[in-house]
């Protein structure tokens, strides 16, 4: 399987990502999941983070300057922060699936692309990097050592 993935990268002229590692730019959530997350946001988060996720002065924004604060982390870090500390007046009250849906809504609100599958919970989130900027495709150079 690994050889097949590497060969596919060679044929296409771009480097294949490290196995098991993805980015928020790779479509980590589905549109349906983000829509469910929007409902949860309106019910649980809007009071503090405001309708357009801009924050209210006390609660931080979840768009804009929010992105650099999470740059270089794993999506699991943000999931854990939401799951353990939100909502403010009832920390850890959200289920794991509600937290995933809410995280999908936050990703969509920050213009990260959707994909075909829902964002999963647990170890799967540890393999997704929170990249502020879309990683550039790198060309593979041929190895001249034979």
Q: What is the average per-residue pLDDT within 20-35?
A: 94
Q: Which long-range contacts (CB under 8 A, 24 or more apart) does 46-50 make?
A: 48/87, 48/88
pLDDT in tens, 59-95: 999 999 899 999 999 999 999 999 999 999 999 999 9
Determine whether 85 is exposed, middle or buried from the number of CB atoms within 10 Å of its CB (0-12, 13-18, 19+): exposed
Which H or E element spans position 61? none
Q: Architecture of domain 22-130 in CATH?
A: Orthogonal Bundle (1.10)
What count of Cα atoms within 13 Å lies in the side-chain half-sphere of residue 142?
3
Residue 121, pLDDT score: 87
pLDDT in tens, 111-126: 999 999 999 888 999 9
């Amino acid at each position: 399987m690994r050889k097949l993935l590497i060969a596919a990268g060679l044929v296409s002229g771009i480097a294949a990502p490290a196995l098991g590692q993805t980015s928020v730019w790779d479509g980590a959530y589905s549109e349906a999941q983000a829509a469910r997350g929007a409902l949860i946001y309106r019910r649980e988060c809007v009071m503090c983070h405001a309708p357009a996720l801009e924050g209210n002065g006390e609660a931080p924004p979840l768009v804009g300057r929010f992105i650099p604060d999470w740059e270089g982390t794993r999506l699991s870090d943000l999931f854990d922060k939401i799951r353990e500390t939100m909502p403010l007046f009832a920390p850890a009250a959200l289920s794991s699936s509600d937290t995933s849906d809410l995280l999908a809504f936050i990703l969509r609100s920050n213009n990260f692309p959707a994909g075909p599958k829902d964002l999963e919970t647990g170890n799967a989130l540890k393999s997704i990097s929170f990249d502020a900027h879309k990683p550039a495709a790198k060309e593979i150079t041929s190895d001249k050592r034979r």
